[in-house]
A and B are shown apart, each in its own frame.
Chain A
Amino acid sequence: QKEVEQNSGPLSVPEGAIASLNCTYSDRGSQSFFWYRQYSGKSPELIMSIYSNGDKEDGRFTAQLNKASQYVSLLIRDSQPSDSATYLCAVKPRFNAGGTSYGKLTFGQGTILTVHP
């Protein structure tokens, strides 16, 4: 089982629709969850972070976390062609006594999103 799993897509939605991206993770003790956007040929860019169960909204983006189900999602409302990119889910583990893995991000393979006019 992969540590962080995403549907690789591609996910295609029309302009103005809601895009829903999903991610599951295996480490039940994970504490921090992130969504990065990566345009083709570019480096990942952080768009959302979430740390507690529930929803977190930022503009057109909403991150949802359900730790009991080990599930995190990203909703993009009013999708635009400029949102077309690969969306990477990343998980940070719990802090351990040695601190050796605290900063480590484990990424999913990414979901390719295409928003068509």
Chain B
Amino acid sequence: EAGVAQSPRYKIIEKRQSVAFWCNPISGHATLYWYQQILGQGPKLLIQFQNNGVVDDSQLPKDRFSAERLKGVDSTLKIQPAKLEDSAVYLCASSLDLADTQYFGPGTRLTVL
């Protein structure tokens, strides 16, 4: 079974630029999560989708971050404009449903200069 796929794996941008990350969950998984992991910290949930609907985006900085999951499969997370403090690893995870085990993708390491 293929795991969660993410791209790109690494991205370096200057502050005030925009960036987008892509995630393809495990086939059949209804729930998709985006986490932000800053160096030395645990992952922090940014947004959670159930199929193509948002379940929880309470910790998403909506003035600069946006995410969508069209057709309930792939998802994109966008940052516009980026700030220095957005430098982190962005992890995508998926689970069969809300109550099930979350499986993480390899992450995208973002560096904002």
Is A7's beta carbon under 8 Å from chain B? no
Chain A residues with a Cβ closer than 8 Å to the other chain, count: 22
| A-B contact number at CB 8 A | 53
Q: Identify which of A49, A103, A106, A107 contacts B31 (C-beta below 8 A).
A: A103
Q: Which of A37-45, A54-62, A63-71, A75-83 contacts B (4 or more CB under 8 A)?
A: A37-45
Chain B: residues with CB nearer than 8 A to chain A? 31, 33, 40-45, 48, 50, 55-56, 91, 95, 98-99, 101-107
Inter-chain CA distance A100–B50, complex, in Å, is 10
Inter-chain CA distance A99–B99, complex, in Å, is 10
Is A4's beta carbon under 8 Å from chain B? yes
Q: A11-45 vs B: 1/0 string, CB under 8 Å?
A: 00000000000000000000000000000001111
Residue contacts A-B, CB under 8 angstroms, 6 given:
A46-B103, A88-B42, A99-B98, A100-B55, A103-B99, A107-B42
Given contacts A4-B42, A43-B107, A45-B104, contact A102 B91 (CB under 8 A): no
Inter-chain CA distance A1–B90, complex, in Å, is 25
